[in-house]
Amino acid sequence: MSVKSWSEKALSIPGPAGELDIRLGQQIASDTDSSSASYGFIMCHPHPLYSGTMDNKVVTTLVRGASKIEFDSLAGMKVSGLETIRFNFRGVGHSQGEHDHGKGEQDDLATVVDYALNELGWQKVFLAGFSFGAGVACLYSCQHAEKVAGMFLIAPAVHHFEAPSTLPFEFESHVYMGDADEVVPFDEVEHWVDLLTPQPHFHIFEDASHFFHGRLVDLRETFLDDLKKL
How far apart are the two ends of the chain, measured CA to CA in Å? 20
Domain 3-228 fold is Rossmann fold (3.40.50)
Cβ-based neighbours of 174, under 8 Å, separated by 6 or more: 150, 151, 152, 153, 200, 201, 203, 223, 226
Domain ranges of the chain: 3-228
pLDDT at 85: 98
Cα–Cα distance list, 92 to 20, 22, 57, 139 (Å): 9, 11, 16, 20
The number of angstroms, rounded, from the C-alpha of 210 to the middle of its chain's C-alpha atoms is: 16
Cβ neighbours of 22 (radius 10 Å)? 25
pLDDT at 225: 96
Q: What are phi and psi of 139, to 5 degrees?
A: -65, -40
Cβ-based neighbours of 191, under 8 Å, separated by 6 or more: none
How, if at all, do strands 124-130 and 148-154 pair?
parallel
pLDDT at 192: 98
Cβ neighbours of 144 (radius 10 Å)? 17
Cα–Cα distance list, 28 to 3, 4, 156 (Å): 6, 6, 33
pLDDT at 118: 97
Element (H, E) at 44: strand 39-44
Contact 125, 42 (CB under 8 A): yes
What is the SS3 assignment for 211?
coil
Which residue ranges of the chain lie beneath pLDDT 50? 1-3, 32, 34-36
List pLDDT tens digits, range 70-91. 877 655 667 779 999 999 999 9
